[in-house]
Amino acid sequence: MPSTALSATTCLCLFIVVFVSHPAWPQKPPKRQGPAQLKGAKCCEAVRELQAQVANLSAALSELGRKQEKDWVSVVMQVMELESGAKRVESRLTDAESKYSELNSQIDIMQLQAAQTVTQTSADATYDCSSLYQKNYRISGVYKLPSDDFLGSPELEVFCDMETSGGGWTVIQRRKSGLVSFYRDWRQYKQGFGSTRGDFWLGNDNIHRLSRRPTRLRVEMEDWQGDRRYAEYSHFVLGNEINSYRLSLGNYSGDVGNDALGYHNNTAFSTKDKDNDNCLDKCAQLRKGGYWYNCCTDSNLNGVYYRLGEHSKHLDGITWYGWHGSSYSLKRVEMKIRPEDFQP
């Protein structure tokens, strides 16, 4: 009967399907036949048996699949858990690191505060550039001296010369560019003016405060040929405002040939609006600066800046009588101070 033959092939086909879907099934040479007429087939006992086995097997397979999937999922879960654990550890590490650095910076701040507190009571105070030098700042340049209630000093920007003759110098005056006018009034000389990196006057109140300890003054000069000379004075003192910022000097030393500041020793400070000089004239107006005018000058370091060509024609220039005479205006001048007992 064609029907039984068909059923037999159907069984075979089923078998093939089962075999393909489960490779562990004992291998048997498959017969080529389309799996077309599976549906509606009337089956013998053997076929039912096979069908049950197939069903069993598929169930087993899908069971296995589910189990595997479950296993795989659990592995994935474990991996993920491990990963997140690692991340947690990592983040805890980062946390710890940031806490550590925070702690470190707090320690820095505390040290700074401690240093500032100490500054107010000990001999270790930051008075000037020489203090900074002793604290191992050895590069010339602009520094900020902290304000100090104990010393009664405000914060002050200064230029420190840490190289010349051992360093530790606080620069109180500079002429080098000619861009800043020094023909100023009493109040401006009191407070200071100009730029710390360029031409400036540090201010009479500041200079007074910085010279309360036994202090040395150094004047450096350069002419238009590029020659350089210096003058130093021991025991430099600038009086307070009540004393009209009177200048006191000790002994002169140096290589500029002539002590042209000695003439201004024990003399009060004068500006165009305050005549404290020893003359009938108004020296500050004649010499166009603020200075310890006597009657009037042997030196005029705060005079008018004249450039090359104009530099030797005027009495109100930046002069140092005894090096180039009374009408030679210098190219560059720096005045700087440091404590008498400074040890480089």
Q: What mask of x and - would describe binding to Ca ion in positions 246 to 275, judged by CB under 5 A?
A: -----------------------------x
Q: Does 46 bind ligand NAG (CB under 6 A)?
A: no
Task: For residue 265, state whether it binds ligand NAG (rule: CB under 6 A).
Answer: yes
Choose, by CB under 5 A, the member of 277, 316, 320, 328 that binds Ca ion.
277
235 forms part of the interface with ligand NAG (CB under 6 A): yes
Give which of Ca ion, ligand NAG, none residue 53 binds (C-beta under 5 to 8 Å, depending on kind). ligand NAG
Over its C-alpha atoms, the chain yields an Rg (Å, rounded) of: 48
285 touching ligand NAG, by CB under 6 A: no
Contact pick of 68, 74, 91, 266 for ligand NAG (by CB under 6 A): 266
Which of these ranges, 8-16, 50-58, 145-153, 279-287, lies near ligand NAG under the rule CB under 6 A?
Answer: 50-58
Nearer to ligand NAG, 181 or 276 (CB): 276
Nearest to 252 by CA among 291, 209, 216: 216
Name the residue among 21, 11, 13 with its Cα closest to residue 61.
Answer: 21
Residue pair 199/177 in contact (Cβ under 8 Å)? The answer is yes
Alpha carbon distance 272, 186 (integer Å):
8
For the bound state, the minimum distance from the C-beta of residue 50 to ligand NAG, rounded and expressed in Å, comes to: 8
Three-class SS of 245-293: CCEECCCEEECCCCCCCHHHCCCCCEECCECCCCCCCCHHHHHCCCECC
Nearest CA to 303 out of 294, 262, 314, 295 is that of 314
Query: Which lies closer to ligand NAG via its Cβ, residue 83 or residue 341?
Result: 341
Which alpha helices (H) appear in the chain, and where do they start and end?
A: 2-21, 45-119, 129-134, 186-191, 204-210, 283-287
Q: Does 15 bind ligand NAG (CB under 6 A)?
A: no
Give residues in contact with ligand NAG (CB under 6 A).
49, 52-53, 56, 233-235, 249-252, 259, 262, 265-266
Give residues in contact with Ca ion (CB under 5 A).
275, 277, 279
